[in-house]
Amino acid sequence: MQFHQLQSFVALCDTRHFTRAAAQVGVAQPSLSQQIRALEQSVGARLFHRARGNIALTDAGETLLPIARRILADADTARQEIRALDELHAGRVRLGAPPSLCTGLLPPILVAFRRRHPGIQLIIHEGGSRDLQTELSEGALDLALVIDSRRTNDPVLETTPLFVEELVVVSPLGAPRPVRRAQIGIRELQGRPLVMFRPGYDLRESTIAACRAAGFEPTLAIEGGEMDAVLEFVNAGMGLAVVPATVVRDRFRRTPIAAPGLTRTVYLAHRRGMAPPRAARALQEEIIRSLGEASAAGQLPPGVRMSVVNAETP
């Protein structure tokens, strides 16, 4: 199994067309076809179904694809490390984060990082934690801010807890308060229409799990949105939503959830067994340093507290 064979294999997976895949990797089509045949001989199995111009992955191809992507990503990381060496004048960082953090805590941290390292390109991938963890494990990301604490023992990922964030119920300012008290209990959401995130979002899973633990199935008015869409649907009066305290703006009513409440822990994650590229390590340090300084100065947003497990710069 050779490196250029894996490059040809991934290109053919992405394009599902021999001519376009050959152009993508910079070889002639017969050469690419030969590399695919040699790779199939090397692994001892057919990787593609070919029928009337249609190309589809076999089970063996489906198994090899994420491994091949990781190998190519690791090679790319090695090249970046060698080029960067001790100075951070160039490079890139691919950071994954949920939309709620991209619009809340991250912007000032990324501004500070750019001031320190203006030559480093920042690439942000927004998504739910489950999707980000998959991208991270496949080598498509260098770092990710993830929520799902069940993945802290993942053999592929290494995680560091950063902070704990309170979840609250939001409703339109012009609508009646959801309850007369200052706080709302989970059971008081029973029968109320809820605006729900799409599958793969930790907020969806934690809200549904809390409702079921209280003995009822939530009533979904609409589901499938990202953070901005969920907030707009709430503002339009379609229902209540459970969201992080940091995303609630002045045009929404925020109602805390009664004890024991709902919280989420945000983790900083990277591939286990391989240090992130130097530029990514610099961003990792910036994130931890900025949060620590904000906590020490009492400047963290309401509803956020630093994790007590690991608050030191790695």
The pLDDT value recorded for residue 310 is: 45
Q: For 176-198, what is the mean pLDDT?
A: 94
The pLDDT value recorded for residue 119 is: 85
Q: Is the pLDDT of residue 182 over 50?
A: yes
CB of 45 closer than 8 Å to CB of 9: no
Q: Is the pLDDT of residue 270 over 80?
A: yes
Q: Distance between CA 223 and CA 210 in Å, rounded?
A: 17
Residue 283 buriedness (CB in 10 A; 0-12 / 13-18 / 19+) = buried
Q: Is the pLDDT of residue 54 over 90?
A: no
Q: What's the topology of domain 82-158+266-306?
A: D-Maltodextrin-Binding Protein; domain 2 (3.40.190)
Residue 84 banded pLDDT, cuts 50, 70, 90: low
Q: Do domains 3-68 and 82-158+266-306 have the same CATH topology?
A: no
The pLDDT value recorded for residue 275 is: 76
Q: Distance between CA 126 and CA 101 in Å, rounded?
A: 9
Q: Report the C-alpha dihedral over residues 9, 13, 19, 20, rounded to 10 degrees.
A: -120
Q: Distance between CA 272 and CA 256 in Å, rounded?
A: 36
Is it true that domain 165-264 has CATH number 1.10.1060.10? no
CB of 121 closer than 8 Å to CB of 84: no
Sequential DSSP letters for 174-238? TSPPSSSSSSB-GGGGTTSEEEEEPTT-HHHHHHHHHHHHTT-PPEEEEEEE-HHHHHHHHHTTS
Residue 148 banded pLDDT, cuts 50, 70, 90: low
Question: Which of 21-30, 98-107, 157-166 has the lowest average pLDDT?
Answer: 98-107
The pLDDT value recorded for residue 149 is: 47
Q: Distance between CA 134 and CA 132 in Å, rounded?
A: 5
Nearest residue to 11 via CA among 52, 48, 50: 48
Q: Is the pTM of this model over 0.85?
A: no
Supply 289's token pair.
């340093």
The two beta strands, 92-97 and 241-244, are unpaired
Using DSSP, how many helices (H) and how many strands (E) does the chain show?
Answer: 10, 12
Close Cβ partners of 209 (under 8 Å, ≥ 6 residues apart):
none
Q: For 24-38, what is the mean pLDDT?
A: 93
Residue ranges per structural domain of the chain: 3-68, 82-158+266-306, 165-264
pLDDT digits (tens, 9 = 90+) for 219-251: 999 998 888 899 999 999 999 999 998 888 788
Looking at 16-142, list the stretches that DSSP marks H as alpha helix, in order from N- to C-terminal side.
Answer: 18-25, 29-43, 59-84, 99-102, 106-116, 129-137
Q: Which amino acid is at 152?
A: T
Q: What's the topology of domain 3-68?
A: Arc Repressor Mutant, subunit A (1.10.10)
Residue 303 banded pLDDT, cuts 50, 70, 90: confident
The two beta strands, 252-256 and 157-172, are antiparallel
The two beta strands, 252-256 and 143-146, are unpaired
- What is the chain's Cα-based Rg? 23
Task: Give the SS3 label for residue 252.
Answer: strand
